[in-house]
Each structure stands twice: as C-alpha cells, then as structure tokens.
Amino acid sequence: MSPWRAFGARSARILLVAFALFVGAPAWAAPSLLSATASTRERAQLPEPVRAWLYNEQVLLSRSVDTERIYAVTENLQKKELAPEAARVFKLKTYWVDAEKLDSFEARSIEPAIRELFVRKRAGRTEVRLVVHPESESFYASVTRDATPGDDLHASATASSRTVLAWKPGDAAHPFFAKLSLNAQIGGVVRTIPKGEVARSVGVTKILDGEKKLPGSFTYLPEVFGVMPKGFERGGMIVRQIPASILSGEKRYVPLFSLYADPPDGSPTMIEDMIKKSGESPDTFVRTRIIRPMVEQWLDLLSHHGITTEPHGQNVLVEVGKDGLPTGTFLHRDFGGFNVDFDARQKLGLGPDKSQLPTLGDFDKEWHTTKSEDTKENLETYFGGGVLFNLDKRFARPARGRAEPAGPGRFETMMDEELRARATEVTGKKRFAGLVQAMTATQRHAIETRAAEKPAAAPRKPLASPPARPAPRVAPATGGRR
C-alpha cells in the first residue's frame, strides 16, 4: 500500500472514531446489541402476550415511591442501550462450565426443556450453562476462561435491568426470564446477585410447590434453576420459568406500577381506564379490587404459611380478566424478597425441614431467619409506600387552599381499615389479630403525628415509617432484588 493510501485509510479510521465519540457509538459498535430494525424483527417473533408483557415493563414503567419509606433508584450507570427504557434486543453470551466449578440448584418443577437448555453431559462430565450479561463479561473472566462457549441467546430487559426476557434465536415461542448478575452500578449498588439469594430463591420455589391450601388469589413465577460460581460471594444467576397459561394468553398479568404509570402519548392511565369501564368510584374500585384482596392474601400467607413477601409495584403483578378488570389475583416474582418464618411453620406443622432446603453453608444468613419479625410490616412499607402512595397521588382530592389533601392518603387509610377489620376473620387467630392491631396503631400514630405537626397550608408529605423500623433495603421499580 502506498504511503498516501495508508495515510488516507488511517485518517478515515480517526475520523470514524471521532464521529462515534461525537454522536455516540452506533449499534454495530456494540457487538451485543442488535440494530433497531433487528430488535423490532426479533420482538415480533415473540408470542403476543409476551410482547404485551414487555410493553408494560419497558413503556408503562413508573419508579415513583414514597422515599421516606422505600429507597428510590435515581442513578443508573449501566449502558443506556441495555436499560429497559431502550426496549432493545441484545445478545447474551453463554458458556458451558464444568459442574464442579459451580454450585447449582434446581426445583422439581423445572420443565424438561429448561433443564436441557442449562444442563448437559459431555465426554462423561456434567456441564452447566452460565448466561452472562454483556456488562459482566470481565466479571466472569476467571470462570469462562476455560469454559466452552455456547450459543448466544437473545434478550430484552424487564423493569429491572438485570432481569431479562431471554430466548433462543429461532425459538421465540419459548422464552424464559433470567435474573443475571449485572456488573454495573444502579442506585449506588453494583447489581450482582449474592450467593445466598441463589439457594434461597430455588428453595422458596420448593416450599411453594409443595404447599397446600395457598390463598386462591396467590400465584407466582417459579424460580427453578440457580447457579453460583464457587469461590464467589456475588455473581449468581437465577432462571424463572414462564407458565404455559401466560405464554398462550389464557392468563394476563400487569405489573402494579403499570396501573398508574403515565402513557407516553398522554392518554389516561391504565387504572383510570379500568375505573371508567367498571362504572365504580375510585374508592370502591381500589378498595374492593386491589386493597382488600391484597390484605386478605397477605394475612393468609403470614398466619397460615409463615411467609411474607415484598409486595411493591415491581414484584407484584395483578391478573386482568377478559373484561379488562382486575380479578383480585396477584402474581408474585422475585423470591429474593420472600421471607420464611420457620418457627411459625414448625408450629403449624408445615415442612419441609431446613435440612431439605438448598443452602451454601450458612442457612440462617442465606434465609434471613433472624429477620422474620421485621418483615411482618412489609405490607405497609412496600404496598403502602409504593402502590397506594402513587394511587393516592393520582386520585388526590385537594382541599380548598391546599396543594394536596392534608393527613394520610385515603387509600393508605383504607388499607389500615381492611387490616384491622379482617385480621381475625382471615387468620382465625386472635394472636395475629393482636399483631396487626399493634402494627396499625403504630402506623396511625405516625399518621396523626405528621398531620398534627403540619402547617395548615402546607402540602402533604409522604407518610413516615414507624421510628423503630430498619431502613428498607429494596429499590423498587428498577430492580430492588430483582
């Protein structure tokens, strides 16, 4: 090549790099990212119910919470094109790792097709497929260095950046959810998965799969497979199976945050459309279709099963019937937020025994067995501080001369009323009724104190938590533990 041609080629490369830095790297500059056209084409191959699910996760997405009770994520340092708002499809690298280098757990309810995708025999040895988020490839370098590369998967982020909908290229009809370790800081926390959560999540699936007489309004996404590289404290992977009833559209679920998220076209929110369709008042609709069934379910799980959840707007989805209205059934996901009171379950005669559940060595630490009392207030913290807080804002009734109504929001007050009215009815035990009475008394005291201290013309501040409560660890709407 002549010096002039070499100079020209070198100059072209310099100009190209400068252009990319100025306008931002194009799709082809990120090997994992599909072009916008290819993303659209790939998404079109997914079942329609799954496309609708993704739309709610990525477009009808609200991160609003009461920041006095729940930590709100305001900073996301991951690559923007991989965040849920980008709604892009990208490639996930996978690696077949010798099973002896990993701790892995699987639930009995795992479907054969899912197991076949993640476990194989080769040359007389068992290998496990590790799925790696594009932003975590260097994080796993010591694990994947001697592993056999597997076929890429396609994926798109859900409301939680590290939980993705994933599928094999050419087989979009059978997707699944994968909660991946994301080596990027979101909300001040690097979103890799701690090892204890991997064992506990699959273990909770085992408990729920074997549980009798769960509330009829309760269902869940099973976490059927978990992987943790040996020697790592963080870096787990968890697979969530999608029931056939969801893939077929027989059942439709909507994240609670999507009910009050503002559509990009400025049209009414989903819950406003639902209330109009029902012909009910906002008070009647929210009390009977959302608050009451959630309170009854929560009390039932607590008193009859020794289980508490983190029912914030991201972890809980509401079933929508053929009439387009909530059925009163809630689908829960992310078992990292579930807590199991083993002492209570033993008194109730419920199994399985701790020795039959997955652990990586420190059962009490991994299963949060010392925190069961704190979690009994999760309903007020997460459901109240996330979902009802937003519904109160959406349907606020300003008093004359005030920017917002003084005192507690009326939907949070309704939750308090429903808890007190239904504690004995649902649990059948005065012991639990007393617990709820104490909880709601603390809540009412905080409400009344705030209202009494508030100047007459001041706008309402978010409801404060009881002073003794530990600071919540969840960061809803962008991923808490998801």
124/122 Cα distance (integer angstroms): 5
Residue 348 lies in a domain: yes
Query: pLDDT digit string (tens) for 153-202?
Result: 999 999 999 999 999 999 999 999 999 999 999 888 899 999 999 999 99
CB of 380 closer than 8 Å to CB of 447: no
Domain membership of residue 379 (yes or no) is yes
Is residue 228 included in any domain, yes or no?
no
> Which of 163, 167, 186, 183 is closest to 175 using CA atoms?
167
* CATH code where residue 383 lies: 1.10.510.40
Residue 344 has which token pair?
A: 């209570």
Q: Report the range of poorest mean pLDDT among 276-280, 302-306, 431-435.
A: 431-435
Tens of pLDDT, residue by residue over 117-128, are 999 999 999 999
CA distance 79 to 157: 12
Residue located via tokens 């979902």: 387
Does residue 416 fall inside a structural domain?
yes
pLDDT value, residue 436:
58
pLDDT tens, 93-107? 999 999 999 999 999
Tell me the CB-side half-sphere exposure of residue 413, using CA atoms within 13 A.
Answer: 9
User: Residue 272: which domain range?
Assistant: 253-453
| E strand or H helix at 421 | helix 410-427
pTM of the full structure: 0.84
Mean per-residue pLDDT of the chain: 84
Q: Does residue 472 form part of some domain?
A: no
Number of domain units in the chain:
1
DSSP for 229-284, please give it: ETT-SB--EEEEPPPHHHHTTSS-EEEHHHHHPPPTT-PPPHHHHHHHHHT--HHH
Three-state DSSP class for residue 218: strand
